[in-house]
Amino acid sequence: MKKLTAFLGATALTATAALADGHAQKWDMPLAYSGSNFHSVTAAEFGKCVTTGTGGAIEITTHPSGSLFPGAQIKRAIQTGQVNIGERLLSGHQNENALFGFDSVPFLATSFDDADKLWQAAKAPLTELLQSQNLVLLYSVPWPPQGLYFRDEVNSVADMKGVKFRSYNNATSRLAELTGMLPVTIEAAEISQAFATGVADSMVSSGATGYDRKVWESLNYFYEVDAWLPRNYIMVNGDAWNGLDDSQKAVMRGCAELAEYAGTWRSKEYTGFTLAGLAAGGMTVAKASDTLKGELQEIGATMTAEWLEAAGAGGQAIVDAFKAE
């Protein structure tokens, strides 16, 4: 930490000279989640780190809650240079390439430790895939374990039939199909309104999302099933990245390393805090029944097999490397 701080200070002096020549750059950073969400807080701190470390040569401004681009459009906006940087849940893009869904395979990695092992196994091939799409990966932060939210009590998969279910990627849509629920695509920024108006009555998500959106105003039950720990990814447009000098790239890499550490720590700390917050809001927070958990495990096995078939040798290599840890 001390070495990085000293490095940033030295780099800032160099960047100040660039400012004198009028080379300051302003980068807008779209975020899908609310400004109070720990991912958005981490991204804002990353932006300040880069601005400070480059002596103001690169000024990053975050735009939370999908205010600049809705979540589904952020990746494309970065690729095409509409913005230089942004954050996206890549599992929402499994239709482009199944590898983007490695972090949302049900019950493959159900703890922070396992999620980190899975990330280490997938990092190199994912980075290469993103580079082929003109994207440079800076850092990634996991969400807390995913649980199930419902308006009404659920003790088995049979109780889910016909329930309107918020989906946000291939995995959640397929989960809805296999449980008899009705998938409805809803962006993170629209969750509260969707539940309040009856557009949806359930979702799979972390305690963090439910807490940030105060879903206890509409929903009554949260079941801890620890289905998976999806990740958010911060990416830079490849052309914008190539336009940076070596010192600026080094600052971004250093700030990204700090952000990934801080964001992961926040995710872990936020897990217990947000579940307590859901309970305080009036929701019933409980472990899934043995029946429900067993049925979900069977569905998870089906979805894992389907993902491996879609992802091919690349997906199998990630799973093999993960299990070898």
250: in domain: yes
Task: Please tell me whether residues 176 and 236 are part of one structural domain.
Answer: no
315: in domain: yes
Query: What percent of the chain stands above pLDDT 70?
Result: 93
Tell me the two tokens of residue 176: 């809805």
pTM: 0.90
How many domains does the chain contain in total?
2
Task: Please tell me whether residues 199 and 248 are part of one structural domain.
Answer: no
Tell me the two tokens of residue 315: 């997906």
Confirm if 286 and 153 have CB atoms less than 8 A apart.
Answer: no
pLDDT band (50, 70, 90) for residue 28: very high
Tell me the two tokens of residue 252: 């971004």
Task: Please tell me whether residues 314 and 263 are part of one structural domain.
Answer: no
Task: Please tell me whether residues 244 and 308 are part of one structural domain.
Answer: no
pLDDT band (50, 70, 90) for residue 325: confident
Task: Please tell me whether residues 180 and 319 are part of one structural domain.
Answer: yes
Tell me the two tokens of residue 144: 């807390």
23: in domain: yes
User: How is the beta sheet containing 85-89 ordered, strand by strand?
Assistant: 85-89, 231-237, 135-142
- Distance (Å, rounded) from C-alpha 207 to C-alpha 186? 17
Task: Please tell me whether residues 151 and 74 are part of one structural domain.
Answer: no
Answer yes or no: is pLDDT of 6 > 70.
no
- Distance (Å, rounded) from C-alpha 82 to C-alpha 13? 30
- Distance (Å, rounded) from C-alpha 69 to C-alpha 74? 6
111: in domain: no
72 closest CA partner among 222, 188, 150: 188
**CATH value at residue 8:** 3.40.190.170
Answer yes or no: is pLDDT of 2 > 60.
no
Task: Please tell me whether residues 286 and 246 are part of one structural domain.
Answer: no
Task: Please tell me whether residues 70 and 177 are part of one structural domain.
Answer: no
- Residue 256 carries which side chain, given as an amino acid letter? A
pLDDT band (50, 70, 90) for residue 5: very low
Domain of residue 182: give its range. Answer: 147-228+282-324
